[in-house]
Structure 1
Amino acid sequence: MHEIERKFLVNSDAFKLGAHTSTRIRQGYLSTDPARTVRVRTRGKKAYLTIKGKSNVSGTTRVEVEEEIAFAKAETLLTLCLPGIIDKTRYEVKAGKHVWEIDEFYGANQGLTIAEIELATEEEDFIKPSWLGAEVTGENKYYNSQLSLKPFSLW
Structure 2
Amino acid sequence: MVEIERKFLVTSKVFKEEAFQQTKIVQGFLNTHKERTVRVRVKGEKGFLTVKGKSTNDGLSRFEWEKEITKPDAEALLKLCEEGIIDKMRYEVNVEKHVFEVDEFFGDNKGLIIAEVELNKENEEFVKPKWLGEEVTGQIDYYNSHLSKYPFKEWKE
Deviation beyond 6 Å, 4+ runs, structure 1? none
**Per-residue CA distance 1:69-127 (angstroms, 9 max, x = gap):** 01111111000000100000000000010000000000000000000000000100001
SS in 2 for 1:32: strand
Q: TM-score, normalised by structure 1?
A: 0.99
TM-score of the pair, normalised by structure 2: 0.98
Indicate the residue corresponding to 2:47 in structure 1: 47
Q: RMSD in angstroms over aligned alpha carbons?
A: 0.4
Q: Does 1:129 align with 2:129?
A: yes
After TM superposition, give the deviation of residue 34 of structure 1 in Å: 1.9
Structure 2: which amino acid aligns with 1:65? W
CA distance in 2: counterparts of 1:136 and 1:109, whole angstroms: 16
Alignment partners' CA distance in 1, 2:111 and 2:34: 25
Letter paired with 1:36: R
Which residue is 1:67 aligned to? 67
Name the amino acid aligned to 1:60.
Answer: L
Paired position in structure 1 for 2:111: 111
CA distance in 2, matches of 1:3, 1:136: 16
Local SS of the residue matching 1:130: coil
Q: Which runs of 5+ in 2 are unaligned?
A: none
Consecutive unaligned residues of structure 1, counting only runs of 5 or more, are none
- Structure 1 counterpart of 2:150: 150
Aligned length: 155
Question: Secondary structure, in 3 states, of the residue corresponding to 1:129?
Answer: coil
| Correspondence for 1:57 | 57
Q: Secondary structure at the match of 2:20?
A: strand
Q: Which amino acid aligns with 1:77?
A: L
**2-structure distance, mates of 1:41, 1:67:** 10
Cα distance between partner residues in 2 of 1:95 and 1:71: 30
Distance in 1 separating the partners of 2:44 and 2:96: 26
**What corresponds to 2:34 in structure 1?**
34
Q: Distance in 2 between the 1:126 and 1:152 partners?
A: 28
Amino acid at match of 2:145: S
CA distance in 2, matches of 1:148, 1:140: 12
CA distance in 1, matches of 2:98, 2:90: 16
Over the matched positions of the two proteins, sequence identity in percent amounts to 59
